[in-house]
Amino acid sequence: MLYRTIALLTALAPAIAAAAAQVGAPAPAFTVADSKGKPVRLADYKGKLVVLEWNNPGCPYVQKHYNSGNMQRTQAAARAAGAVWLTVNSGAPGKQGHMSGPQADAFVASAKARPAAYLLDASGAVGRAYAAKTTPHMFVINPAGRLVYDGAIDDKPTADPADIKTAKNLVMAAVNETRAGKPVSVATSRPYGCSVKYAG
């Protein structure tokens, strides 16, 4: 009975959150500790483009984009366009991909990634607020704090790195269009990958 109650609560949570995160609406605010233990607030980046990336190093789809260098290249391009890149890990303790601060730093270093911060969201609060479903799952927030993109990193939903060459990078498209003051032409897509390993 207890298990069922918990399952019910966890089943309801993303439903509430899904109503919160919607393209065109203000992006849900959050405060969460990064890998160094420093609290990071979304509000700190008001006036800047923000990219959120959901991460789980154990997931083959994440590996597709990191081992090929595609995620790092996207990060660099976004940074060059003035965007702040936040990598978020919502893996619950004991689940695949859950990491401590030092582990996260080691992963970032070994992958030669350069996010502005690696956020540890073990409770899943941020993930559920955004209804992050997969790793990777990407979000772009415009300088006014509104969500302008919610979906996959690109339009080739496979685990095969060979597909990256021919895929359209939807995150960079959203970043560049927003920067040019244009509406995002593909504002949502189906995120693909492993499910986010939330608690419960």
Partner 1 sequence: MAALGFRLMAMLLALLGAGLAVAAPPHIAATLEAESRAPKAGSRIDLAIAFRPAPTWHGYWKNPGDAGTETLVEWTLPAGVKAGELRYPVPGTLLVGGIMNHVYEAPYALLVPLDVPAGLAPGTQLPIRAKVDWLACTREICVPERATLSLDLTVGDGAVEPAARTRFDGWRAALPRPLGAQARFERAGETLRLAVPLPASAAVKEPWFFPLGDDVTEQSAPQRASRAGDALVIEAKVGRGSPERIEGVVRIGPDRGLAIVAVPGKVPAGGAAAGAVESEGEGGGGLLLALGGALLGGLLLNVMPCVFPILSLKALSLARGGGSAAAARREALAYTGGAVIACVALGAALLGVRAGGAAAGWAFQLTDPRMIAALLLLSLAIALNLAGLFELPSLSGGLHAQGAFATGALAAFVATPCTGPFMAAALGAALVLPWVQALAVFAGLGLGLALPFLLIGFVPALRRALPKPGPWMATMRHILSVPMFVTALALAWLLGRQAGADGMAMGLAAALALALGLWWVGQRGLGVRAWLPLAPALAVSAALILTVPRAGPAEAAVASAGSEPFSEAKLAALTGAGTPVFVYFTADWCLTCKVNEKAAIERSIVRDAFAAKGIKVLVGDWTQGDAAIGRFLESQGRSGVPLYLFYAPGRAPQVLPQLLTPGLLTGLAV
Binding site for partner 1 (CB under 8 A): 1, 4-5, 7-15, 18, 22, 57-61, 63-64, 66-67, 92, 95-96, 100, 102-103, 106-107, 110-111, 124, 128, 133-134, 157-160, 188, 190-200
Strands 50-54 and 84-89: parallel
Cβ neighbours for 141, distance < 8 A, ≥ 6 positions apart: 27, 42, 49, 50, 51, 52, 147, 148
> Token match 């990193």: residue?
153
Q: How far is the CB of 80 from partner 1 (least distance, A)?
A: 26
**Smallest gap, in angstroms, from Cβ of residue 200 to partner 1?**
5
The residue among 31 and 158 lying less far from partner 1, judged by its C-beta, is 158
- Taking the complex as a whole, the smallest distance from the CB of residue 56 to partner 1 amounts, in Å, to 9
- Among residues 28 and 191, whose Cβ is nearest to partner 1? 191
CA torsion, ordered 22, 132, 147, 100, to nearest 10 deg? 150
Nearer to partner 1 by Cβ, of 58 and 143: the residue is 58
Instruction: Give whichever of 30 and 107 is closer to partner 1, judged by the CB atom.
Output: 107
- Helix (H/G/I), strand (E/B), else coil: 192: coil
Kindly state the smallest distance separating residue 11's Cβ from partner 1, in Å: 4
For 89, half-sphere exposure in the C-beta direction (CA atoms, 13 angstrom radius) is 29
If the CB atoms of residues 76 and 105 are measured against partner 1, the closer one turns out to be 105
Residue 98: helix, strand or coil by DSSP?
coil
Minimum distance from CB of 61 to partner 1 (Å)?
A: 7
Chain-centre distance of CA 145, in angstroms?
16
Tell me which residue has tokens 């390993």. 197
